[in-house]
């Protein structure tokens, strides 16, 4: 089935496809629609939805994790001085928080952190950051959510007599740093069954291994210290995992599920509770989406516009008043970030407004740059334009380093953006100063004098790199619902199957509806009352950003792509459709 919407830039052509399922797979005790949804996501009866901690992959299968535990255990006995070097995004902030909270709970007396200011030092353990760390004379540097590409920084630290433990999840380059120990599930030959751990997941596993080592040493008994329950850190692990948009394979779903349980049971750290409060989210029904779209952006705002230490201190605080004060600062930064992003996005759209993405001449990648743009927000702009064009996007802005530009890239399924940068670097060495990332997101820096060469040449490289790629924008649906399926019961059963997220998508359905009423709310959103085809019962629905995609109000008959949601308002509970696509019939 193909459903083509209008061809303007704001509403790219898409093809609606139904997810395939195995009709022989039947999971007992669930709604038939839930069975259909889980079957389409390869959740078979023997797996079901067991998110118990016993189903987590064993730490021992993560390469070098025992060496890391031994190193840290010896450091604890000697009360070595440790500095954690993190990244300036939500994954980095949560990684730092988990590392510090765990190490202090184990008995370390001197643990501090350092996060590079993205505007002054850039990403990772650079020699400059090592110089800053050296002023505190640490014995050990632990990197979290970075370090796998910090060849020069690790060398500099070891040259000053520091021991370096790298914990990271990013893809390694051709040369590995000479760290004393590296723990990364994406190292060649690593046996850990999940390659999708976020940085916070990697450091959590290292802390699990360290606790096991200390238990074997009878450390806690000898120190008359309670053995920490690692469950207490899973709220922070869940936040970092969701905010970093890593694929939610089973192992990550266990981490997120367990963290959400702690949050909804009222056991989150004061910082997460404060961020939920300022985002107007109610503890008790917090979902992965709340972490991804409400808490994560507020935490990220500090690293984008100011100093991520604000976010880290919020997560480390055990004082409610302090956590709420810091959460208010993060909320203000997030409002500022939205304003900056909106202006940049409008400028980017102007630059490409005459390009129709359904034309054969449409570029296979968009490169956008502006000397007035804020380098902390270019990743968000790249994401927004990618969503509108369904093409990979690279957005660039001047950095604080004279003559240097920073770039942020976002991609679409099937185009590995980090590998594209690697291919470009192989063909045109010394143009990119550095680069790194994942399949769907990457960052890079470039000398400003080579910017125009890069802009023109990357398109040629991309044409060769993407040869044979199918650019069709596909929206996957879990099919139509029968009239009797529109129920709070089904919506709740689907909710209980969560956490939904990257590569384990929340179910969405499609169908034909009659529009009883429609009105604009909040400038661009459309609130509707609709009736499923063949039904006399009407349901509320909302389509966020409707006027960003459509010029006219919906016709009497429309096809919707939507998710089921339970809306609680003033004591009343109602079924609500969260509408993502509207096709006029």
Asked if residues 478 and 40 have their Cβ atoms less than 8 Å apart, the reply is yes
pLDDT digits (tens, 9 = 90+) for 414-436: 999 999 999 999 999 989 998 88
Number of neighbours of residue 471 by Cβ within 10 angstroms: 15
Most confident residue range from 1-15, 344-358, 454-468 = 454-468
- At the top level of CATH, which class does the domain 15-48+474-584 belong to? mainly beta
460 vs 470: CA distance, rounded Å: 18
Task: Kindly tell me the burial class for residue 510, based on how many C-beta atoms sit within 10 Å of its own C-beta (0-12, 13-18, 19 or more).
Answer: buried
Give the per-residue pLDDT at 46: 63
State the average pLDDT over residues 306-321. Answer: 93
Q: What is the DSSP string of 197-219?
A: --HHHHHHHHHHHHHHHHHHTTH
Which pLDDT tens digit goes with each residue over 464-479?
999 988 888 888 999 9
Long-range contacts formed by 1-8: CB under 8 A, 24+ apart:
3/559, 3/583, 5/549, 5/581, 5/583, 6/550, 7/356, 7/358, 8/356
Residue 233: pLDDT over 80: yes
- Model confidence at 207: pLDDT above 50: yes
Question: What percent of the chain has a predicted confidence (pLDDT) above 70?
Answer: 94
Strands of the sheet with 432-437, listed across from one edge: 366-369, 393-398, 404-410, 441-447, 432-437
Q: Average pLDDT for residues 6-29, to the nearest whole number?
A: 66
Burial grade of 568 (CB within 10 A; 0-12, 13-18, 19 or more): exposed
Res. 11 pLDDT band, cuts 50 70 90: very low
357 has pLDDT over 60: no
| Token pair listed for 266 | 């009222």
- Helix and strand counts by DSSP (H, E) for the chain: 19, 17
Smallest CA-to-CA distance from 502 within 296, 278, 204 is with 296
Q: Note if the pTM is more than 0.75.
A: yes
Q: Can you tell me the mean pLDDT for 199-215?
A: 98
What does 303-316 look like in DSSP terms, one character per residue? Answer: HHHS-THHHHHHHH
The predicted pLDDT at position 355 comes to 56
Confidence of residue 7 (pLDDT cuts 50, 70, 90): very low
CATH of 53-332, one of 3.90.1640.30, 3.90.1150.10, 3.40.50.1820, 3.40.720.10: 3.90.1640.30
Phi-psi region of 151 (alpha: psi -120 to 50; beta: other; left: phi over 0): alpha
Check: CB of residue 310 under 8 Å from CB of residue 340: no
Separation in Å, CA 492 to CA 172, 250, 285, 571, 574: 41, 21, 11, 17, 12
Task: Write down the pLDDT at residue 400.
Answer: 76
More confident residue, 424 or 15: 424
Residue 58 has pLDDT above 80, yes or no: yes
* Residue whose structure tokens are 């359904």: 358
- Residue 228 CB: number of other CB atoms within 10 A? 18
Please choose, from the candidates 482, 579, 490, the residue with its C-alpha nearest in 3D space to the C-alpha of residue 35: 490
Give the pLDDT score at 219.
Answer: 97
Instruction: Give the mean model confidence (pLDDT) for residues 271-284.
Output: 95
Query: pLDDT value at position 145?
Result: 95
489-534 pLDDT tens trace:
999 999 989 999 988 999 999 999 999 999 999 878 999 999 998 8
Q: What percent of the chain has pLDDT over 90?
A: 68
Burial zone of 153 (CB within 10 Å; 0-12 exposed, 13-18 middle, 19+ buried): buried
Whole-number pLDDT of residue 302: 86
What confidence score (pLDDT) does residue 45 get? 67
pLDDT exceeds 80 at position 57: yes
b/e for 135-148, b at 16 or more Cβ within 10 A? eeebebbbbbbbbb
> What kind of architecture, by CATH, is found in domain 357-465?
Roll (3.10)
Element of type H or E holding 387: helix 378-389
What pLDDT shows up at residue 354?
A: 58
Domains of the chain, by residue range, sit at 15-48+474-584, 53-332, 357-465
Q: What is the DSSP string of 415-463?
A: --HHHHHHHHHHHSTTSEEEEEE-SSEEEEEEEGGGHHHHHHHHHHHHH
Question: 562 forms bridges with which residues in the sheet?
Answer: 509, 579
**pLDDT tier at 120 (50, 70, 90 boundaries)?**
low
Among candidate residues 72, 88, 93, the one with its CA nearest the CA of residue 208: 72
Is residue 124's pLDDT more than 90? no
């Amino acid at each position: 089935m193909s459903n083509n919407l209008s061809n303007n830039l704001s509403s790219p052509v898409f093809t609606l496809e139904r997810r395939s399922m195995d009709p022989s797979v039947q999971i007992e005790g669930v709604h038939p629609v839930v069975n259909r949804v889980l079957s389409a996501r390869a959740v078979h009866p023997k797996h079901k939805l067991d998110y118990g901690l016993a189903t987590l992959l064993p730490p021992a299968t993560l390469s070098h994790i025992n060496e890391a535990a031994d190193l840290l255990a010896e450091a604890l006995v000697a009360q070595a001085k440790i500095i954690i070097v993190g990244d300036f995004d939500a994954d980095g902030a949560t990684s730092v928080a988990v590392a510090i909270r765990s190490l202090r709970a184990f008995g370390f007396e001197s643990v501090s952190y350092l996060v590079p200011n993205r505007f002054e030092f850039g990403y990772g353990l650079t020699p400059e950051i090592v110089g800053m760390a050296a002023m505190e004379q640490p014995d050990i540097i632990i990197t979290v959510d970075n370090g796998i590409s910090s060849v020069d920084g690790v060398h500099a630290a070891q040259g000053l007599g520091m021991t370096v433990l790298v914990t990271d999840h990013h893809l390694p380059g051709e040369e590995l740093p000479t760290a004393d120990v590296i723990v990364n599930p994406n190292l060649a030959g690593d046996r850990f069954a999940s390659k999708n751990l976020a940085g916070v997941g990697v450091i959590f596993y290292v802390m699990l291994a360290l606790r096991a080592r200390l238990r074997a040493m009878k450390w806690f008994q000898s120190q008359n210290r309670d053995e920490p329950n690692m469950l207490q850190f899973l709220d922070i692990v869940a936040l970092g995992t969701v905010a970093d948009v890593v694929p939610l394979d089973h192992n990550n779903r266990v981490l997120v599920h367990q963290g959400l349980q702690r949050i909804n049971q009222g056991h989150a750290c004061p910082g997460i509770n404060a961020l939920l409060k300022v985002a107007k989210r109610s503890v008790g029904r917090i979902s992965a989406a709340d972490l991804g779209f409400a808490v994560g952006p507020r935490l990220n705002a500090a690293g984008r516009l100011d100093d991520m230490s604000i976010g880290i201190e919020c997560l480390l605080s055990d004082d409610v008043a302090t956590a709420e004060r810091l959460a208010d600062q993060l909320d203000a930064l997030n409002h500022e970030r939205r304003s900056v992003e909106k202006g940049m996005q409008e400028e980017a759209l102007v630059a490409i407004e005459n390009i129709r993405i359904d034309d054969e001449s449409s570029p296979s990648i968009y490169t956008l740059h502006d000397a007035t743009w804020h380098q902390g927000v270019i990743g968000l702009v790249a994401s927004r334009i990618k969503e509108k064009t369904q093409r990979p996007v690279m957005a660039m802005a001047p950095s604080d380093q004279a003559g240097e530009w920073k770039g942020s890239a976002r991609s679409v399924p099937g185009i590995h953006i980090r590998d594209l940068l690697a291919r470009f670097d192989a063909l045109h060495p010394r143009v990119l100063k550095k680069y790194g990332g994942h399949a769907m997101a990457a960052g890079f820096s470039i000398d400003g004098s080579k910017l125009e060469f890069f802009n023109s040449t990357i398109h040629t490289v991309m044409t060769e790199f993407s040869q044979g790629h199918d650019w069709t924008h596909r929206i996957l649906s879990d099919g139509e619902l029968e009239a009797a399926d529109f129920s709070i019961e089904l919506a709740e059963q689907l909710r209980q199957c969560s956490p939904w997220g990257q590569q384990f998508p929340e179910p969405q359905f499609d169908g034909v509806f009659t529009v009883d009423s429609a009105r604009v709310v909040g400038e661009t959103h459309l609130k509707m009352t609709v009736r499923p085809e063949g039904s006399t019962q009407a349901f509320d629905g909302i389509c966020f950003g409707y006027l960003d995609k459509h010029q006219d109000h919906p016709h009497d008959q429309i096809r919707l792509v939507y998710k089921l949601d339970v809306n609680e308002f003033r004591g009343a509970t109602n079924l609500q459709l969260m509408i993502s696509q509207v096709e006029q019939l």
